[in-house]
Structure 1
Amino acid sequence: MRSPFCLSRLTAISLTLIAAPALAQDNGEARAGDRDPGIVVQGERPAGEVDGTAVRAQARSIIAPESRATTYIEAVARFQRPICPGVVGLTPGNAQDVIERIYRNAEAVGLEIDDAPGCTGNVWVIIVNDAGAVFDQLRRENSFLLRGISHFARNRIEEQTGPTRAWNAIQLRTEGGMPVESINTPWMMSRLRANVREDIELSVVLIERRALARFDAYAIADFATMRLLTQTRPPTGDVAYDTVLQIFDETAAMPATARLSAFDLAYLRTIYDSHRMAPSTAVFGRVGRRMERDLAAAAGDSR
């Protein structure tokens, strides 16, 4: 068993806003406690028919508005250190299933994990009664969960709607890992290289318990994976390919799967396969090719 779920330093959050519900037991999906079904690449189109232009457009549409990657020349934020997930507001068994699934997802996209007992949580899934109210409270208290989040970014998080809120604390660093505040020499950049790398130090997602009724632990973990391992938001409007980012969108039709989709996996794998100084335009331009390769490989395995 890996690192257990814990409240850790999060007990400072009002317990009136945090619940500990069991997940739905009649949603037709794998129940918490069942064997993790693993990560299965599923595509909406046959292998070889991926529309690279549509994939690239969708990749750019899910960038969080506070991310510097919204410009074409900046690097895409990602973890450079191993991740250690923590869960608040679920029963121990469900919380452990979420943690295990996030670990599995992280390994699948090429991210290192820290599964030592008592590891310091840097990826948090927090189940609450009212996501907006909890975020407002955290902001008033200047919680450690918001350290490193600029005033601008806090305002953009406050503008998020629906039953979730998510954010990532970013530290800008040189390629060698030195914080940019201590650099006095000009930064080097080109069309193939951003001037700084963007390290995620801490990620948090708040999910309202009322939104959990249709989903199991793996769906929650897969959604959290997409919100926490890089800076994303649910897409607005129609999308060309399924994404687990839509499962809590109360205005969208249910996606074909409440799991990481072929698009989601290709998106994350491309980010973590790319050079850490690669500009976003180069990274997102490769997502379609990665998706095409993944689908072809999955089709081969199924024969």
Structure 2
Amino acid sequence: MRAGRPSGWLPALAVLLAVQPATAPAQQEAPKKDIVVRAPDGRTAQEARRFVRQVATAREGQLSRFAAPVCPLVVGLAPPSNAAIENRIRQVAAEASVKQGKPQCAANLLLVVAQDADAFVTATRRRLPGIFNDLPAAELSRALKSGPVHAWNSVEVQNEDGERISGATDEGVKILVVRRASRMFETTQQVVWRSVLVINAQALAGKTLTQLADYAAMRTLAGARPPERPGGPDTILTLFDDGPPPPAQMTDVDRGFLRGLYRTRPNGRAITETHTIVRSIVKQTQVPQ
């Protein structure tokens, strides 16, 4: 069942973590000598739009996001580090007005730190192929691509009121009841019901728990991808990229993106709802007068 905790997948996924726990990052925060203080840079709408186009992921012409309360779970680090990252993700979610589940809620946002991320994802696909079944080809290819980070969101189509598929015809065609028609908005919405992020333990060298948590929040809550082209605004999404040192935490651009996403209309079209995110980024990065 896709409401609340998905039954069966989490215990089975945990079995695949038959490796030694990864070593937690050495420090809770970046050492002072590594902190770079950056003044707000006042992003223009054009710059913000370019950033959104690079990192946002759309399904069937719509932006996807969590609708049910988010329940993060981190595994693979020392227990205090796992808890610290979960708490930070919750803090970021609260700042963006993302609904959250109560303590001990059913996990639907999972961060796994594995000794060998590629091997873990390969084993997951072999043992639990259903976790990948609803991914479009391009997203599946990105999720399985070798590298230090693997991320994917499971998304289902719901109607404009958040109701799920109610049945199927004798031919197996799924039925989704819609109640309104509009030229401005869709009759459906793309809802994330599970998000998984797998990171290679060796890639955490030199990274802090705050950086890891903020990166995880952007990849899971926002479904954001690291920008493909250099030269854009500072973003925590570059945490595992080669190049200049990443920021010590998520930036105002990241915060603006996440807040804007959760202010969009769930049944809006990506091409129009993007403007909401752009405005949020511009507002978040305005230089105080």
Does the C-alpha gap of structure 1 residues 26 and 169 become closer, same or farther in structure 2, counting only changes over 3 Å? Answer: closer
Match of residue 36 from structure 1: none
Determine the structure 2 residue equivalent to 1:183. 176
Corresponding residue for residue 270 of structure 1: 260
Equivalent residue number for residue 139 of structure 1: 125
Q: Which among 113, 116, 119 is matched to residue 130 of structure 1?
A: 116
Note closer, same or farther for the CA distance 1:265–1:123 as it changes in structure 2 (3 Å cut): same
Letter in 2 for 1:120: A
- Aligned match of 2:226: 234
Cα deviation for residue 236 of structure 1 reads 0.9
User: Deviation of residue 282 (structure 1)?
Assistant: 1.9
CA displacement 1:219-247 (0-9 Å, x = unmatched) = 11100000001322111121421110101
Deviations 1:170-208 (A, max 9, x none): 011101122353226698453x31342011000010011
Which position in structure 2 is the counterpart of 1:253?
244
Maintained 8 Å contact 1:162/1:248: no
Letter in 2 for 1:222: D
- 1:20-169 to structure 2, matched below 5 A, reads 20-25=22-27, 28-29=30-31, 44-45=40-41, 49-64=42-57, 67-68=58-59, 74-116=61-103, 118-142=104-128, 145-146=131-132, 148-149=134-135, 153-159=139-145, 161-169=146-154
Query: Using the alignment, how far apart are the partners of 2:108 and 2:240 within structure 1?
Result: 23
Take 1:187 and 1:132, find their aligned partners in 2: how far apart are those partners? 44
In 2, Cα distance between equivalents of 1:91 and 1:15: 15
* Residue number in structure 1 paired with 2:213: 221
Structure 1 stretches of 4+ moved >4 Å: 41-44, 184-187
The DSSP-based 3-state class of the residue aligned with 1:285 is helix
**C-alpha contact 2:114 2:120 (8 A) present in aligned 1:** yes
Q: Deviation per CA, 1:140-195, whole angstroms, max 9, x where unpaired? A: 11256446445664333213x431000000011101122353226698453x3134
Q: Give the conservation status (yes or no) of the 8 Å contact 2:21–2:78.
A: no
* Partner SS state of residue 87, structure 1: strand
Indicate conservation of the 8 Å contact 1:168/1:230, yes or no: no
Instruction: Give the superposed CA RMSD.
Output: 2.7
Q: Distance in 1 between matches of 2:178 and 2:266?
A: 20
- The percent of aligned pairs where both chains have the same amino acid is 24
Q: Does 1:173 align with 2:158?
A: yes
Say which is worse superposed, 135-144 or 99-108, in terms of deviation. 135-144
- The 3-state SS of whatever aligns with 2:250 is coil
- Give the alignment partner of residue 279 of structure 2, picking from 262, 268, 289: 289
Count residues with an aligned counterpart.
268
Normalising by the residue count of structure 1, what TM-score does the alignment of the two structures yield?
0.79
Distance in 1 between residues matched to 2:279 and 2:177, nearest whole Å: 39
